[in-house]
Amino acid sequence: MPPLLEVKDLHTEFRTGAGLVRAVDGISYTVEAGETVAIVGESGSGKSVSALSVLRLIPDPPGRITQGEIRFAGRDIMQLSDVEMREIRGGDIGMVFQEPMTSLNPVLTIGRQITETLEQHRGMDRYAAHRRAAELLGLVGIADTERRLRQYPHQLSGGMRQRIMIAIALACDPKLIIADEPTTALDVTIQAQILELMKDLTRRLHVALIIITHNLGVVARYANRVNVMYAGRLVETGLAPDVYHNPRHPYTQALLRSVPRLDRPRRERLDPVEGQPPDLTRLGVGCAFSPRCPFSVDACEQARPALEPTGVPGHLAACFRSREVYSEAAA
């Protein structure tokens, strides 16, 4: 059976004052039905663009998908008309964004924002939509549903708003939810509640989830598979335990080593990833990470390594020296 989502050789570019930015520069990945895939990377690594491209939500201009194939549930997303695309967004693919205050409409009641989705996508009448909206609020753990449906976004807390966003994303029984930093704006105890809720619901309803985050702990707790991005490219992908325990790309390895951990004794000093993030308008021909890479050799500056199998099923890395990275870690 083909995967639920298949992205092949995707290129998304932005024309900026400083020059052409290849925000996503030839990435391929898949998402199976019901699984949770995390996309990690730093600001500017292309993690959001790689997922928003799937929804064709790239503002044009300045952005444009210049190349690539996106297949979702057997359909070619790139060939769909705008009308068909609108049916998919919020229909088969739900979305949860970082800032629930700006992604909810401030002048519509919570109830209206949920029923609007249901009327648009599922052709429900007002009464059926209202009943379903109340049911959805219960599903995302909001009590006192009738009162909440009459309220406006500003009357709710940040955690509550994010629950509403999840309810809207789930409204039309989607097959896939794309969550872009869904808990970054929330406090840690609320973050935990929202993530547990998303995990519980996606498992129970068998919804696949793409979660975009920079928090390595969140990935470890919730993701089945991980895509690590750097400078617009996928540098490593695999099952979460494989990537975390045996990273094959020096960037992944350095990133994991740089974070202080509460479950380990305190270290004297942290091991940072040295250097600065790359300037995307001035990338050379070589590997974008090589200026910061302790494993870098001459070959790394002459060509970009392709994503290649490491020998472990499903685990791929884009590094000429991934074998050395692995054995250094084992030593």
Partner 1 sequence: MSAIGRPLLEVKDLRMHFPITEGMVTRRLVGEVKAVDGIDFAVRRGETLGLVGESGCGKTTTGRCILRLNNPTSGQILYEGVDIAQMERKELQALRRRVQVIFQDPYSSLNPRMKVGDIIAEPIKVHGIETDGTKRAARVRELLSVCGLSPRFSDRYPHEMSGGQRQRVGIARALALNPEFIVCDEAVSALDVSIQAQVVNLLEDLREQFGLTYLFIAHDLSVVRHLCQRVAVMYLGRIVELADSDELFGNPLHPYTQALLAAVPVPDPSVEAHRTFRPVQGEVPSPINPPPGCVFHPRCPIAVAGCKQTRPALREVRPGHFVACSEIH
One of 9, 173, 200, 274 touching partner 1 (CB under 8 A): 274
Q: In what order do the strands lie in the sheet with 63-72?
A: 19-31, 5-16, 63-72, 75-76
Based on the shown chain and the rule CB under 8 A, indicate whether residue 131 belongs to the binding site for partner 1: no
Distance, in Å, from the CA atom of 147 to the CA atom of 17, rounded to the nearest integer, reads 48
Question: Which of these segments, 6-14, 119-127, 267-275, 313-321, binds partner 1 (CB under 8 A)?
Answer: 267-275
Q: Are 326 and 252 in contact (CB under 8 A)?
A: no
Based on the shown chain and the rule CB under 8 A, indicate whether residue 281 belongs to the binding site for partner 1: no
One of 191, 227, 296, 322 touching partner 1 (CB under 8 A): 191
Q: Are 38 and 226 in contact (CB under 8 A)?
A: yes
Collapsed DSSP state (helix, strand, coil) of residue 308: strand
Question: Which of these segments, 27-35, 100-108, 146-154, 239-247, binds partner 1 (CB under 8 A)?
Answer: 239-247
State in angstroms the smallest separation of the CB of 280 from partner 1: 12
Write the burial class of residue 96 (CB in 10 Å: 0-12 exposed, 13-18 middle, 19+ buried): buried
Based on the shown chain and the rule CB under 8 A, indicate whether residue 187 belongs to the binding site for partner 1: yes
Nearest alpha-carbon partner for 287 in 302, 273, 272: 302
Distance, in Å, from the CA atom of 186 to the CA atom of 205, rounded to the nearest integer, reads 25
Element (H, E) at 29: strand 19-31
Based on the shown chain and the rule CB under 8 A, indicate whether residue 200 belongs to the binding site for partner 1: no
Q: Are 26 and 44 in contact (CB under 8 A)?
A: no
Question: Which of these segments, 24-32, 66-74, 131-139, 184-192, binds partner 1 (CB under 8 A)?
Answer: 184-192
One of 123, 189, 204, 285 touching partner 1 (CB under 8 A): 189
Residue 137 or 255 having the CB closest to partner 1: 255
Collapsed DSSP state (helix, strand, coil) of residue 179: strand
One of 15, 150, 245, 323 touching partner 1 (CB under 8 A): 245
Site for partner 1 in 22-61 (CB under 8 A): 42-43
Where does this chain bind partner 1 (CB under 8 A)?
42-43, 157, 159-160, 187-193, 196, 214-223, 240-241, 244-245, 254-256, 258-263, 266-267, 269-274, 276-277
